[in-house]
Amino acid sequence: MKRNLFCASIGAAVLSLFSISASAQTCASPDTAWTPNAAGSPALSGSTCSHEAGILSACASNFSSPGAAYVALINTAASGSFTNITFTGGSGYTIAAYFVPQASGCNTNAACKTSGDGANAVTHATLGDGAFYMIITGADFDAAGSCGTFTATANGTLPVSLQSFTVDG
């Protein structure tokens, strides 16, 4: 009995050393995994709560962020076959999405390429090709601290962008 308890406590200690915790999707560590296939699957679902809290103003001061934001880095290269990305927000806030060119930086209050919300999809035609920070947050008219769940759905492919490349010799 003592041996089983000892082994169980050792096993729990070892597992706690290797546990995987979900990290926040922030400007410093954006979600780079969303790459829907030609059918638009999978959708991106998450929460704006407990993520990037430093975005106070977006789109060259045209919008403010009342609460935390979910940040993803997406690639909309010409090889992508999507025509639009739609957004659905949960209760407690009004969803807003801002697209800032990666070259401009995530939390620099740079001009946005385009924006969308629960009623307005972002189209490939208005976004164009390139790498963008997709910042999902509450609308600027929401109460301070507003946040909630969301789903972003593309109706086609967002290609994978190369993050690093090395040649072993």
Q: What CATH number is associated with residue 121?
A: 2.60.120
Q: Is residue 121 part of a domain?
A: yes
> What does the pLDDT look like over 110-147, one tens digit per residue?
889 999 999 999 999 899 899 999 999 999 899 988 99
Phi, psi of 2 (to 5 degrees): -65, -40
**Helix (H/G/I), strand (E/B), else coil: 87:** strand
- In this prediction, residues 97-108 reach a mean pLDDT of 92
Q: Is residue 14 part of a domain?
A: no
Q: Is residue 130 part of a domain?
A: yes
Residue 150 predicted with pLDDT over 80: yes
Residue 14 predicted with pLDDT over 50: no
Q: What is the domain extent for residue 71?
A: 23-154
pTM for the structure as a whole: 0.79
Residue 112: exposed, middle, or buried by beta-carbon count in 10 A (0-12, 13-18, 19+)? Answer: buried
Q: How many other C-beta atoms are found inside a 10 Å radius of the C-beta of residue 147? A: 25
pLDDT band (50, 70, 90) for residue 149: very high
Q: pLDDT higher for 2 or 151?
A: 151
